[in-house]
Amino acid sequence: MTAHSNLNIVPFVSVDHMMRLVLKVGIETFLTELALVIEEDFRRWEQFDKTPRVASHSKEGVIELMPTSDGTLYGFKYVNGHPKNMKEGRQTVTAFGVLSDVGNGYPTLLSEMTFLTALRTAAMSAVAAKHLARPNSKTMAIIGNGAQSEFQALAFKAIVGVTELRLYDIDPSATERCAGNLAGKGFTIKACSSSQEAVEGADIITTATADKQYATILSDNMVGPGVHINAVGGDCPGKTELHRDILLRSDIFVEYPPQTRIEGEIQQLASDYPVKELWEVIAGKCEGRQSERVITLFDSVGFAIEDFSALRYVRSKLEETGLYVELDLLADPDEPRDLYGMLLRCEAHLRVV
């Protein structure tokens, strides 16, 4: 055994370990700390390699690789999107990711990211609202009460101070499940029977519906002055949630314009329609909300840097929690030029054992 004898090892955070990590840290603390890492990375946005995601499309769905790097660390996420999966008892979206050392190219973390993506999406939404919603926003409508909804609610509670939820889903059992899961978590919850009812009195409107082609979850008359809209569900070409007229009345903030123009709500607008970049607001280079009456819209599609932040945060928690296993992922012979010799030594060892 040499000082380098563990170079072959990559820590792996399984789904079970991710759940234990979230429970150990506490989900609201987890979301709050993750939000701080996202803000930290958004403030140094210009340091990052920003590659568009690499997508492999098929009849049934898409598989994407989302890489990025800050010059010191490199991260990528593998994520699929298959709307028909749910009918077969599978997740529409699953994901995993890797964080590596740019200096030597060795992976330093492999992690499940189905949970982590839900957590980072919620933390990102809450970070945007913290910078864009009216101060003292307490009431949030959530339209679409699927897999994202509880994470969104908890992030907005922890980071923005939301305490009142108004829930609506076309499937009442989804609303019931969401309300049940959030019972006892410090919210006043109202189950609503229409989108119209849900948005009444809401400071913030979160739309997180799925599987709809050019749907109109919100129509223009439903959105009053001063509201912040957190549009989470529209995130690929052909999938939008908001009526175009709402976009025209809003100050629009996005993650990475070249990607959002293809995937976000603004795919409904001209390709040069003015939008603001959220990182500039967070970095103090650009004003967020300009008045009490402005409608602000975060047109969220999810960007690789958020996954990078999430992987970076998870890795920072490993030592103190021990919630990972060691994966023998990298062939690392004592003599790097002698890869084949490693096989011979393994053979000799097996013969002895």
Active-site residue numbers? 235
Span 81-120, contacts to a second copy by CB under 8 A: 81-82, 84-86, 88-92, 94, 96, 98, 100, 102-107, 112, 114-115, 118
Distance between CA atoms of residues 208 and 337, nearest Å: 52
Query: Which CB atom, from 134 or from 317, has the smaller least distance to a second copy?
Result: 317
Q: How far is the CB of 98 from a second copy (least distance, A)?
A: 7
- CB 177 to a second copy: min, Å: 6
Residue 22 found at the interface with a second copy (CB under 8 A): yes
Q: What residues numbered 267-286 form the site for a second copy, per CB under 8 A?
A: none
| Residue 172 sits in the site that holds a second copy (CB under 8 A) | no
Contact status: 338 vs a second copy (CB under 8 A): yes
Establish if 60 lies at the interface with a second copy (CB under 8 A): yes
How many whole angstroms separate alpha carbon 47 and alpha carbon 26? Answer: 31
Residue partners of 145: CB distance under 8 A and separation at least 6: 167, 168, 169, 171, 174, 175, 177, 178, 208
Q: Does 46 bind a second copy (CB under 8 A)?
A: no
What distance separates the 2 farthest-apart alpha carbons in the chain?
Answer: 78
* Cα separations in angstroms, 204 against 144, 165, 310: 14, 10, 24
For residues 233 and 210, the answer to whether their CB atoms sit within 8 Å is yes
Nearer to a second copy, 115 or 156 (CB): 115
* CB of 146 or CB of 288, closer to a second copy: 146
Give 74's strand partners. Answer: 69, 100
For the CB of residue 18, give the shortest distance to a second copy in the complex, in Å.
8
Is residue 321 close enough to count as binding a second copy by CB under 8 A?
Answer: no
If the CB atoms of residues 63 and 269 are measured against a second copy, the closer one turns out to be 63
